[in-house]
Amino acid sequence: MIPRRYERIKQVLAQRQPDLTVLMEDVHKPHNLSAIMRTCDAVGIFAVHAVNRYSETPTYSQVAQGSEKWVKLHSYPEIKTAIKHLQQQQYRVYAAHLSEIAIDYREVDYTLPTAILLGTEKWGVTDEAADLVDGHIIIPMQGMVQSLNVSVANAVVLFEAQRQRLQAGFYDQVRLTPEIYQQTAFEWGYPEIAAMYYRQGKTYPQLGEQGEILPS
Ligand code: SAM
């Protein structure tokens, strides 16, 4: 890895937000999935979560521009498991959902650990998920059409979260644990070697100042 690349990796990892995430409920169209991943990367999301009854392996379109490589994806068999898992990790899960009880998305404090639940393109958030979450948020609409495209809704909410976190100085300090930071720097810098170490169940070697692999 050339030193300039390592600098870039460090710069991006230093701004990753481990306590801000997105949970997708059956969002299955490749262009939507890709646009969501790209926005997540842009605001510094480290990992996203998904439940997908349509296919096990997500397919990305050109829209992602490779951003799926920089944002981890955790999959779950059912929405209940995903929501409970996030809540156990102290996330407050908000469904972006056009319901009677939804509050304006700008009223939420996104500096607290937050997960945004996005619903499927056609049917929105399921009743089961809507009941399990900690609250509903809505992006006010003044047009003839009732809802936004799911990836657009994601971007609107996440850039509000980014605004609040910028103001709170969350991008000025490294927020990943040193272990996750080191591990991810290695995976991003040396993906093939990392995959080999992973297959062999071995821990990654340390990286030097310039991003070079140090002998163990
Ligand atoms: N017919 C669906 C419904 O009634 O929910 C519309 C689904 S919309 C195309 C896809 C997803 O985008 C929704 O489930 C929601 O997560 C998000 N979304 C779209 N517009 C939104 C808005 N104005 N406020 C909050 N979320 C929105």
Q: Tens digits of per-residue pLDDT, 96-111?
A: 999 999 999 999 999 9
On whether both 155 and 137 belong to a single domain, the answer is yes
Instruction: Report residue 95's pLDDT band, with 50, 70 and 90 as the boundaries.
Output: very high
On whether both 131 and 73 belong to a single domain, the answer is yes
On whether both 6 and 30 belong to a single domain, the answer is no
Which among 147, 151, 156, 159 is the best mutation to test ligand 1's pocket, defined by most ligand atoms within 8 Å of the CB?
Answer: 147
Instruction: Say how many Å lie between the CA of residue 152 and the centre of ligand 1.
Output: 10
Q: Tens digits of per-residue pLDDT, 124-148?
A: 999 999 999 999 999 999 999 999 9
- 136, 94 contact by CB (below 8 A): yes
Q: Mean pLDDT throughout 68-72?
A: 92
Domain of residue 62 covers: 17-172
Which among 51, 98, 126, 159 is the best mutation to test ligand 1's pocket, defined by most ligand atoms within 8 Å of the CB?
Answer: 98
Looking up residue 145, the CATH number of its domain turns out to be 3.40.1280.10
On whether both 54 and 108 belong to a single domain, the answer is yes
Position 144: which residue type? M
Ligand 1 pocket residue status of 125, Cβ below 6 Å: yes
On whether both 85 and 186 belong to a single domain, the answer is no
On whether both 2 and 27 belong to a single domain, the answer is no
- Predicted local distance difference test score (pLDDT) of residue 133: 98
Higher pLDDT: 68 or 169? It is 169
On whether both 168 and 204 belong to a single domain, the answer is no
Domain count, the chain: 2
On whether both 119 and 210 belong to a single domain, the answer is no
* Rounded Cα distance, 54 and 27, in Å: 9
Residue 61 tokens, joined:
């379109």
* Rounded Cα distance, 172 and 168, in Å: 9
Read off the DSSP letter of residue 145: S
What is the number of the ligand 1 atom nearest to the C-alpha of 150?
12
Higher pLDDT: 34 or 3? It is 34
Instruction: Report residue 152's pLDDT band, with 50, 70 and 90 as the boundaries.
Output: very high
pLDDT of 62 strictly over 80:
no
Interstrand relation of 47-51 and 20-25 (parallel, antiparallel or unpaired) = parallel
- Predicted local distance difference test score (pLDDT) of residue 64: 67
